[in-house]
Amino acid sequence: MKILAVLYKGGKSAVAEPRLLGTIENRLGIASWLKSLGHEFIVTDDKEGPNSVFQRELPDTDILITTPFHPAYLTGDLIRNKAHKLKLALTSGVGSDHVDLNAANEKKIMVAEVTGSNVTSVAEHVIMCMLNLVRNFVPAHEQIEKDQWDVAAIARNAFDLEGKVIGTLGAGRIGQRVLKRLVPFDPKELVYYDYNPLPEAVANELGARHIPDLHQFLGECDVVTVNAPLHEGTRGLINTELLKHFKKGAFIVNTARGAICDRVSIAKALEEGQINGYAGDVWDVQPAPKDHIWRHMKNPLGGGNGMTPHYSGTTLDAQKRYADGTRDILERFFKGEDQIPANLIVADGRYATRSYGERK
């Protein structure tokens, strides 16, 4: 079989650190194995436009592997008109929104990902982002880099998580782990919004209250973390109109997908002080263009921006998990064995998961 992997370039870092498995240099640690099985394995980071290696190699590719961190966007047009032999679209990581899933259904292309490989890494990243925003850390650190010292300028917009209402928009694997990690901070209350309420025992263990009305949920939260998949029902969900329902001065952390939030609406709300901070590592196009508005947006006090490149789910620990999971999915596919159900997004021309099948 011909297998095409679109991964990110690691450069000197990947050469020095072989555990950077998600790079074109280290090839998910599966290159020798695939060669020993007689498969053709092409690896590239060139993914943009019709003349890219990705699009040139796609027509006779059997399996496409990519990651959420440097995704090859498998559009409906490419699936219908170019991916003539494609049988499996495999995400090394979690999140398959870079694939037109409806088109994959039409063409009966299996879509799979390594479910659970990133949940701990992302949940920890969410907590870090919350603390960075709430404690006004970035402007404080920038003072030190600039040889300045103005405690009052930082402390005037620094708060505690204790005593705050903190909510997750989406209470799946990551959302639940975020809630669990917030308990020791002694928040006033933990709340969540999800179309699928948690089992009572789980909610009680977390001490989390379900708020079924989105506007009410947003209006009660001092901090909102977005942990929902990207699909037709969530794309552009957090826009100018919805931001009016947030508590004034709220903080938003988004490590789910950038396109859930409208970029212009977020920047405007932050710059006008409707929200006090926005942090995350996901962008509506990746890599983010140099002129992306989220790179330089600030609140009226000059802080509130906690954006980073997309790396929350690609720590060295996570890379080992998703590389191992990628090999397992491939082994099962080669042998014609059943996949682990939780790893399937699309199979046999239908949605295999409620996460992406839900269109509310």
In this prediction the pTM is 0.89
Reported as a single tens digit per residue, the pLDDT across 266-312 is 999 999 999 999 999 999 988 999 999 999 999 999 999 999 999 99
Find the Cα–Cα–Cα–Cα dihedral 244, 245, 247, 251, rounded to 10°. Answer: -80
Specify whether the CB–CB gap between 92 and 119 falls below 8 A.
Answer: no
State whether 68 and 161 are in the same domain: no
CB neighbour list of residue 153: distance below 8 Å, 6 or more residues apart: 139, 143, 301
State whether 91 and 139 are in the same domain: no
pLDDT more than 70, % of the chain: 98
Distance CA 69, CA 282 (A): 9
In this model, does residue 360 exceed pLDDT 50?
no
State whether 71 and 158 are in the same domain: no
The burial class, CB within 10 Å (0-12 / 13-18 / 19+), for 157 is buried
- The residue range of the domain holding 130 is 118-307
In this model, does residue 11 exceed pLDDT 70?
yes
Q: How confident is the model at residue 353 (pLDDT cuts 50, 70, 90)?
A: confident
State whether 11 and 24 are in the same domain: yes
* Residue labelled with tokens 């030190």: 144
Known binding-site positions for substrate = 94, 118
Known binding-site positions = 94, 118, 173-174, 194, 229-233, 255, 281, 310-313, 355
Report yes or no on 357 lying in a domain.
no
State whether 36 and 143 are in the same domain: no
Residue 39 falls in the annotated catalytic set: no
Q: Which of 272, 288, 307 marks a domain boundary? A: 307
Q: What is the pLDDT of residue 356?
A: 62
State whether 150 and 271 are in the same domain: yes
Distance CA 262, CA 240 (A): 8
CB neighbour list of residue 97: distance below 8 Å, 6 or more residues apart: 229, 230, 231, 257, 259, 356
> Which residue, among 20, 33, 7, has the nearest Cα to 92 in the 3D structure?
7
Distance CA 236, CA 313 (A): 22
Token code pair at residue 330: 């491939």
Reported as a single tens digit per residue, the pLDDT across 114-145 is 999 999 999 999 999 999 999 999 999 999 99
In this model, does residue 108 exceed pLDDT 70?
yes
State whether 57 and 151 are in the same domain: no
The average pLDDT across 97-103 equals: 95
Report yes or no on 355 lying in a domain.
no
Catalytic residue among 274, 286, 299, 319: 286
Known binding-site positions for NAD(+) = 173-174, 194, 229-233, 255, 281, 310-313, 355
Q: What is the pLDDT of residue 311?
A: 94
Report yes or no on 358 lying in a domain.
no
State whether 17 and 122 are in the same domain: no
CA distances from residue 324 to 92, 109, 311, 328 in whole angstroms, order as listed: 9, 22, 18, 6
Distance CA 173, CA 194 (A): 12
- For 25, the 3-state DSSP assignment is coil
Distance CA 167, CA 275 (A): 15
State whether 109 and 122 are in the same domain: no
Report yes or no on 356 lying in a domain.
no
Total domains in the fold of the chain: 2
CA distances from residue 143 to 136, 261, 278, 303, 306 in whole angstroms, order as listed: 11, 30, 20, 11, 16
| Maximum pairwise Cα distance, the chain | 65
Distance CA 310, CA 71 (A): 11
Mean pLDDT of the chain: 96
In this model, does residue 357 exceed pLDDT 70?
no
Q: What is the CATH number of the domain that holds 231?
A: 3.40.50.720
In this model, does residue 355 exceed pLDDT 50?
yes
Report yes or no on 50 lying in a domain.
yes
Catalytic residue among 70, 98, 177, 257: 257
> Which residue, among 35, 30, 104, 175, has the nearest Cα to 348 in the 3D structure?
104
Residue 98 falls in the annotated catalytic set: no
Report yes or no on 268 lying in a domain.
yes
Residue 132 falls in the annotated catalytic set: no
State whether 151 and 299 are in the same domain: yes
State whether 204 and 264 are in the same domain: yes
Reported as a single tens digit per residue, the pLDDT across 148-189 is 999 999 999 999 999 999 999 999 999 999 999 999 999 999
* Chain-centre distance for alpha carbon 123: 11
Q: What is the pLDDT of residue 359?
A: 44
Distance CA 233, CA 37 (A): 41
Report yes or no on 359 lying in a domain.
no
Residue 141 falls in the annotated catalytic set: no
Q: How confident is the model at residue 86 (pLDDT cuts 50, 70, 90)?
A: very high
State whether 122 and 166 are in the same domain: yes
Report yes or no on 31 lying in a domain.
yes
Specify whether the CB–CB gap between 240 and 267 falls below 8 A.
Answer: no
Distance CA 46, CA 25 (A): 13
